[in-house]
Structure 1
Amino acid sequence: MMKKIRILHVAQAAGGVDRYIRMLLKYLDKEKFENILVCSQDFLEEDYRGLVDSFERIEMTRAIGGNDLKAIKEVRNLIKKYNPDIVYAHSSKAGAIARVADIGLKNYCVYNPHGWAFNMRCSAKKKAIYTAIEKIAAPFCEKIICISDAERQSALDKKICKEDKLQVIFNGVDIEAYENGVHGAVKREDLNIPDDAFVVGMVGRMSPQKAPDVFVKMAKQVKEKVLNAHFIIVGNGNQEAEIRKYVEDNGFSNSLHITGWVDNPMSYVELFDVACLLSRWEGFGLAFPEYMMASKPIVASRVDAIPNIIRDGENGLLVGVDDATGASKAVLRIYQDDELKNRLVTQGMEDVHNRFNARRVSEEHGKLFETL
């Protein structure tokens, strides 16, 4: 019997990273790999039953501050306790903590930023700080995994590390789980949406990155042309009050439905006629393969990694960042043209099976871990 390769995962931000790790672990070969998760208070142990051999929770916060030193010390103690073959750090905060904690210990270190912090829309000063941190930390790991070609390119542009340290492993979605799962769990009437309504939706936090403000401006313009249009935002976030105020001021609050945080976003995606994500920056955009898997035509912003996934006119329509008018025109094009809609959906379905399958994400990780 071969000795299993022991991997210690370190993760701070829940949300997309949490979904990613669960999917990765589900399809990683249990015969070959043993997994330990060291995560922040935002993760739930029951989500990882049957996926990890050990689960450890420590206090980690997103902001940079004094408690980082405590977190580094705790992570270092856990690395010593479990003595893994590979330490795998997920997203920028855990990436910094784990790489510092791992200095001088005998193992391989892999880091996946899940979207570079310096590509966020923030002040030049913040960008410079994030870039500096990544450059300083880069020598303390063997491999950096990029979730798209755009991410890899921006690492090279910013001279984060040498090219041979970077490896692209495209994100994926769990197609099998979705196809074998329960469909139609949420009905339009549950949200007071008429059956014959034209429904446009988005899945994403109501935060500046996901541009819910652009989504509702687009919605207003679509509503002027399509009277029975309804709009769904699947998510929660700190911009909710201003989003609600905008739709109220513009007189269509009965047509906007905000679900808040849900643990079955796909059940809501099934209600959409058109699926949008108009992000201002995006390391990958896991919502896109999810939309494709649910056979939805897509309208997306042309930014960062999105054109790696959405090819304009083939598997979706691309519009400029912050261009609510362009987005509303794209949505109306799909509304009016069934042939276009069907073409986008068919190509999207093919792409999600060929390019964005979670099994492939795990297989590529498995190969990387074995070569290390």
Structure 2
Amino acid sequence: MDKKICVLHVAEAAGGVERYLETLFKYSKDKVENILVCSQNYDYEKFKKLVDRVIVLKMAHDIQPSSDIKVERTLRRIIKQLKPDIVYAHSSKAGALARIADLGLNNKVIYNPHGWAFNMQQSAKKKEMYKWVEKISAHFCDKIVCISDAEKESALREKICKPSKLQVIYNGIDLEGIKKTAPMSRAQLGISEDAFVIGMVGRLSKQKAPDTFVKAAKLIKEKIPNAFFLMVGDGELRDQVENLINQYGLDSSFLITGWVDNPTAYMKIMDVGMLLSRWEGFGLVLPEYMACGVPIVATDVDAIPDIIKNSVNGMLVAKDDYHEATSKTVFIYKNFKMRLYLINVANKCVMDNYRGEFVAQNSIKLYNKTR
């Protein structure tokens, strides 16, 4: 029997990256020896069932020189000790730490930014800094995985590396796991059975535009009296979001769940799922909505139009345009045939393009080509 290829994964950011890794490990564990070095933010007990070994390191999300140097030194010792065939770094912070830690060691290195930091809305100075960090760091890895065509186009436009170093592997979801997930009980959540539930799954952060969601909710409630709004997630803007909900008098029509173990259980009770991001490397929640049979309203930014075709498998709206988000939601509410059409096309789309098995198969091909 052939020896399994050994891949040491390094991950700091949780959330979408964590869900991505769950799916990748589930569908590759029979052919790959996966070792995970993750931050304290991960549910590492869960990952012990999915990988051969889990190592937890305390990592800061922002730049902290003294802490980062300690992590790099520890990572270097781990790499030297375990001698993996491939070091696979996930997201920008882990990407920097792992590539520095591996300098001069005889390993192949793959990097997946899971969305370029320089595409975020921020000052021109910060954007330029992130571009140069990525350009310099690109010399110290063998392959860079882009999670969408838009991400590859961004890298080429900014001349991050040679085109031959880039490999597109679309994000995928665990369809089998989603199918087995039981929906949450509306009664348990205090939502009436006849409510029209509009949901948003994601971090309450500037990127995911929860403020736009609440502004749209105010207008939607005026047009759909039985509308109820469900925000699945948490984040640094939670206090601001709650203040806005209170200001609009929507308290009795809103629920913010905080972080939950299985967001798809909540998606299954939604009548519309929104992703109103201001920038987006992929948007893993989109195929998850599709798999749960939830019609989608999403912003026409970055990688989202690669996934959502307007009026075909979802509805696209302009960034920050809560009026348009309102009108598209009301249109779905009033047009049952259109709702069914969007759901049916989306279901075929996710089956054909975004299965977790595809992520694992394409990743294993990349490992074998790279080592």
- Please give the TM-score of this superposition, normalised by the length of structure 2: 0.98
Q: Deviations over 1:95-140 (max 9, x none)?
A: 0010111111111100000001111111111111111110110010
Q: 1:218, 1:237 → 2: CA distance?
A: 20
SS at match of 2:36: strand
Count of matched residue pairs: 369
Q: 1:268, 1:178 → 2: CA distance?
A: 11
Matched, 1:343 2:341: yes
Give the partner amino acid of 1:359: E
Match of 1:84 in 2: 84
Match of 2:59 in 1: 60
1:140-289 alignment runs, 5 A limit: 140-179=140-179, 181-184=180-183, 186-289=184-287
Is the CA contact (8 Å cut-off) linking 1:29 and 1:366 kept in structure 2?
no
Residue among 334, 337, 344 paired with 2:332 = 334
Q: 2:124, 2:229 → 1: CA distance?
A: 35
Report the CA distance between 1:182 and its aligned residue. 3.6
Q: Deviations over 1:274-330 (max 9, x none)?
A: 111100011000000000000010000000000010000100000000000000000
Match of 2:100 in 1: 100
Query: Larger deviation: 140-149 or 58-67?
Result: 58-67
1:6-17 alignment runs, 5 A limit: 6-17=6-17
Q: 2:29, 2:212 → 1: CA distance?
A: 42
Report the CA distance between 1:335 and its aligned residue. 0.4
Is the CA contact (8 Å cut-off) linking 2:9 and 2:87 kept in structure 1?
yes
Is the CA contact (8 Å cut-off) linking 1:6 and 1:84 kept in structure 2?
yes
Is the CA contact (8 Å cut-off) linking 2:29 and 2:50 kept in structure 1?
no
Q: 1:23, 1:298 → 2: CA distance?
A: 22
Matched, 1:35 2:57: no
Is the CA contact (8 Å cut-off) linking 2:14 and 2:42 kept in structure 1?
yes
Report the CA distance between 1:45 and its aligned residue. 2.6
Is the CA contact (8 Å cut-off) linking 1:275 and 1:299 kept in structure 2?
yes
Report the CA distance between 1:26 and its aligned residue. 0.8
Report the CA distance between 1:50 and its aligned residue. 3.0
Give the partner amino acid of 1:258: I
Match of 2:288 in 1: 290
Match of 2:4 in 1: 4
Cα root mean square deviation, aligned: 1.0
Is the CA contact (8 Å cut-off) linking 1:8 and 1:37 kept in structure 2?
yes
Is the CA contact (8 Å cut-off) linking 1:12 and 1:90 kept in structure 2?
yes
Matched, 1:44 2:43: yes
Q: 1:176, 1:351 → 2: CA distance?
A: 16
- Please give the TM-score of this superposition, normalised by the length of structure 1: 0.97
Q: Which runs of 4+ in 1 moved over 3 A?
A: none
Report the CA distance between 1:234 and its aligned residue. 0.5
Query: Larger deviation: 142-151 or 49-58?
Result: 49-58
Q: Deviations over 1:136-188 (max 9, x none)?
A: 10010010000000000000111100001000000011001111x1423x211
5+ unaligned residues in a row in structure 2: which ranges? Answer: none
Q: 1:252, 1:59 → 2: CA distance?
A: 39
Query: Alpha carbons of 1:343 and 1:322: their partners in 2 closer, same or farther (altered >3 Å)?
Result: same
